[in-house]
Amino acid sequence: MIKKNDHKKAWIALMIAVAVLVLVGALDNLPHVPSMLLTVLQKGAIYALVAVSMNLLNGFTGLFSLGQAGFMLLGAYTYAVLTVPVERQASVYQRYEGGGLGFSVTQSLGNSMGQFGVFLGVVLCLILAGCVAGFFAWLIGLPVLKLKSDYLAIATLGFAEIIRAVVMYEELGPVTNGSNLLYGFTNFTDFHLGSLKLTTVMPFLFAGLCILVVVLLINSTYGRAFKAIRDDEVAAEAMGINLAKHKRMSFMISSFFAGISGALLAMFQASVQASAFKAAMTYEILLIVVIGGIGSITGSVIASFLFVGCSEWGLRFLDNETTLKNFDAKVKFAVIFGILIAAVVAFGLLSMKRKGEKLITRAAQGRPTVRWGAVLGLAVAAIALLWDVWFVISPRLKLPLLRSGFRMVVFSVVIMIMVLFFREGIMGDKELWDLGKKKRSAKAKAGVGNE
């Protein structure tokens, strides 16, 4: 009975996956598709994989690690070094006489087997990239995994910095090209099926497969052991779970996929430079995980696309200085802005009401308690509305505040609001496919209560 059900689910999942790939492939090849959309999709898929790999560690095993950028760096460099075409190595490694490996995996395979060989080479190098990251995770895990929460975080963060310094080391230049760019290697634009472009399909395919593996892992015995460790280490150990082994495993698997995603990121950018993989990158990924919900794979995926979409595309207009054309445009803008503010306020008040909170709670005795955060929010909204009205009346046409950098400020304010007030993130620790289930079980519970 259960098995039959599982089969059905697997079929549905496969159909959805194929549908998504076909859709993405269509977007790749149709004319008039904005190139920004494709960029967002590609980068979003890659970030989804990193976010999921980080979630496996932070959300499912309860190990707070901040080394993701370091492992991505390892993966990216492994991939790039292995696939720079032989004839381009001289120009890429121009600062290092005789630099480069002297061979290129994708090129050799491509020469002997054509397009399929290139694909095979890329898969091979991706796996190698993951393995290198996983190996270093094993190495660093030996001393570090014994540490508790924030010590682990800072040690892994430090490790990522060490990796960066080593890769940029001058003596390793003939292999890593020191602190210079690596470029020219096989990237997503090199994939074709006949005359069909597969630029966006490829990251979806690779990231999707990896995420699938993570999902299967989480639903296996190991995944349950990870969750047990997260929920209570001592209890998990008492149940016979080998803490050291499972932590190491989770750390290595997470790093493996971080390595792969690093390689994918290198392919996406078509170039790679060690100085980009800073702690700030890890922080960004962590914030994605938090927005999506710590302990939710689908949450991480959704949040990645949202994050990349907003930062690359949706909020771009905030970075441009804008002067409205005429009075009509101004009125239009003011109305939209006002509705936006009103919607935010309404949403806030509704969610407060749902939680049974009030602005001012009158106690039977003593001073009433006031929710200063909510009051402050209302005040800000009121000021924004007043400004809106003033803006319509005033003769100015130039929108204030909008200039380079404003996008990231708005973005980080939104993230702070999420972190402070919506700590569960978009999905909490639920998955997309749990949503229907939860409602049903809640109904069932309510039914039992009524009886």
Which stretches of the chain bind other proteins, using CB under 8 A?
A: 58, 64, 140, 143-144, 146-151, 153-155, 157-159, 161-162, 164-166, 168-170, 234, 279-280, 283-284, 286-287, 290, 294, 373, 403-406, 408-409, 411-413, 415-416, 419-420, 423
Residue 158, Cα to own-chain centre: how many angstroms?
A: 21
Here the tokens at position 230 are 């997260």
Q: Between helices 221-231 and 243-269, what is the axis angle to 10°?
A: 110
In the complex, least distance from residue 165 CB atom to other proteins, rounded to whole angstroms: 4
* 3 state SS of 85: coil
DSSP state of 275: G
DSSP state of 242: -
Q: Between helices 279-292 and 35-55, what is the axis angle to 10°?
A: 90
In the complex, least distance from residue 292 CB atom to other proteins, rounded to whole angstroms: 13
Here the tokens at position 173 are 């230049």
Judged by CB, which is closer to other proteins: 234, or 446?
234
* Helices of type H across 56-200: 68-83, 86-92, 105-113, 115-144, 149-167, 173-176
Among the listed residues 25, 27, 38, 45, the one whose alpha carbon sits nearest the alpha carbon of residue 193? 25
Judged by CB, which is closer to other proteins: 393, or 401?
401
In the complex, least distance from residue 65 CB atom to other proteins, rounded to whole angstroms: 11
Judged by CB, which is closer to other proteins: 29, or 311?
311
DSSP state of 276: G
- Whole-number Å distance between alpha carbons of 417 and 377: 11
- Taking the CA atoms of residue 318, residue 320, residue 325 and residue 331 in that order, the dihedral angle to the nearest 10 degrees is 10
In the complex, least distance from residue 160 CB atom to other proteins, rounded to whole angstroms: 9
HSE-up (13 A, CA, CB side) for residue 162? 9
In the complex, least distance from residue 423 CB atom to other proteins, rounded to whole angstroms: 6
In the complex, least distance from residue 403 CB atom to other proteins, rounded to whole angstroms: 8
Judged by CB, which is closer to other proteins: 8, or 146?
146
Judged by CB, which is closer to other proteins: 87, or 170?
170
First to last CA, the chain: 29
Here the tokens at position 120 are 């095979």
* 3 state SS of 62: coil
Judged by CB, which is closer to other proteins: 148, or 332?
148
Q: In this structure, how many other beta carbons lie within 10 angstroms of the beta carbon of residue 31?
A: 4
Judged by CB, which is closer to other proteins: 253, or 286?
286
Judged by CB, which is closer to other proteins: 252, or 286?
286
In the complex, least distance from residue 219 CB atom to other proteins, rounded to whole angstroms: 24
Query: What are residue 192's DSSP bridge partners?
Result: 197
In the complex, least distance from residue 49 CB atom to other proteins, rounded to whole angstroms: 21
